[in-house]
Amino acid sequence: MNCKGGPVLKKIIIDGNSLTLEDVVQVCRHYREVELSQEAKENILKSRKVVDDFVENEQIVYGITTGFGKFSDVTISKEDSKLLQRNLIVSHAVGAGEPFPTDVVRGIMLLRINSLAKGYSGVRLETIETLIEMLNKRVHPVIPEKGSLGASGDLAPLSHMVLPMLGLGKAEYQGEILDGATAMAKAGIDTIQLTAKEGLALINGTQAMTAVGALTVYDAIDLLKVADIAAALSFEAQNGVVNALDSRIHKLRPHRGQMDTAEIILKLLQGSHMTSKQGEIRVQDAYALRCVPQVHGASKDAINYVKEKIEIEINSVTDNPLVFPDTKEGLSGGNFHGQPMALSLDLLGIALSEIANISERRLERLVNPALSGLPAFLVEKGGLNSGFMIVQYSAAALVSENKVLAHPASVDSIPSSANQEDHVSMGTIAARKAKEIMENTRRVLAMELMCACQAIDLRGNKGLGLGTKAAYELIRKEVDTLVDDRPLYEDINKCEYLITSRKLIEKVESVAGEINF
């Protein structure tokens, strides 16, 4: 049985090449178990044989028979190769800040397994299987979220991942934070001793930033669906002019996201008696409504680009040196450098920030009587009641915070390792910022959903569209129309839960299945 009492799901096969974003979510959040393919096992054994030969022959290969970083010119004897790898882990586990959440930790473990499974890293099969056993038995290392430069990979976070494998550090098991040795023993997993190349292969890569980024981009894709639903409800709450959604307009500027957004919102509004045509009430709407296809669409295109880059990265080899069994070479390169992720995840943060920006502007038009024609702050008996006044304040604060967070991390670089590593990506900072922006944006959209439904009630519900009616009815099951002031944070929490649980998306899709979100 799985953790929810359902049937055991088939294990996801790890081969280093075919992991999908959906697979990542299944393992990280739904505890799907994994196992190596037979081909992966064979590739792992081949690359390990090459490493063993390097050590036996005392061939000079970075990180195998030499020190690390600036110490790459220090030769290490084969007698000291095991101590070298252990020292690497214990010296590099210097993370800071709060621990990553469990889903991110599982993502880090999964992506590291998948990278090693390609057979270019030289790690022993039993070492990878130990990490798989930890993942499947839910032994989750405590990994601080700060301390990575994003090149040479996520050294500090990944070192914390490795510590429990050695019986060191901390790990969460069955709801308890335990020392690494205890957690491994309680789960019935033997600790290991690292040997040549293994410490470096386990920590030299982009898996922390990529795990955060993968889960964030997955959530962002859903959030753009919610943004379209919220915008459609705001269209009705403000008697929006639907001519701006005409496909003929958008075909003349054929960005995919823009065309899709206009089509989606028209379908959500299908059959609505709350929208207007050009000239009936006004000639055109303000940009927050009229330009929804252009703004939402641009963010969709950006997020699809990031998704493409994430899907490449989760099936890539990102350590150094790389072992090529066919030619029996160990080649030093720079695949650990996080720049492809850093730039992509900065873009993700910017794209999500803009969704919150325009959502807050739609919200402001709802609560401002000079713009809405509705009672001030969407409440009768204003003055005695403040209504949704401070909801807009909170949304504005989150949007402003997003603007600070959206400053790109990837434009910064601080040299490290005595200037041997003289350009770094800051990709893990970019990933963490994008995640925080996503969470702030989700909260702003929850506020817009709530305010749009209130505005529809005050304006008089003359009949909503196919998709918006489903969204409105679901929200109204959780959140009553506001008559007198009450603690609104609880209502916002309920709207946000409808987003995070996917109930809102699933409800709208169930009644308007032809909507191609």
Q: In sequence order, what DSSP letters do the residues of 437-471 get, joined into one string?
A: HHHHHHHHHHHHHHHHHHHHHHH------HHHHHH
Catalytic site positions:
62
- Return the closest-CA partner of residue 89 out of 11, 34, 159: 159
How far apart CA 66 and CA 197 sit, in angstroms, is: 10
Task: Specify whether the backbone of 261 is left (phi greater than 0), alpha (psi in -120 to 50) or beta.
Answer: alpha
In this structure, are residues 378 and 387 in contact, taking their beta carbons and an 8 Å threshold? yes
Q: In sequence order, what DSSP letters do the residues of 399-412 get, joined into one string?
A: HHHHHHHTS-STT-
How crowded is residue 183: how many other Cβ atoms within 10 Å of its Cβ? 27
Residue 178 forms beta bridges with which residues?
171
- Three-class SS state of 12: strand
- Three-class SS state of 94: coil
Helix axes 207-237, 503-511, angle to 10 degrees: 50
How deeply is 222 buried, as exposed, middle or buried, from its count of CB atoms within 10 A (0-12, 13-18, 19+)? middle
- Three-class SS state of 382: strand
How far apart CA 199 and CA 206 sit, in angstroms, is: 15
How far apart CA 21 and CA 24 sit, in angstroms, is: 5
How deeply is 484 buried, as exposed, middle or buried, from its count of CB atoms within 10 A (0-12, 13-18, 19+)? exposed
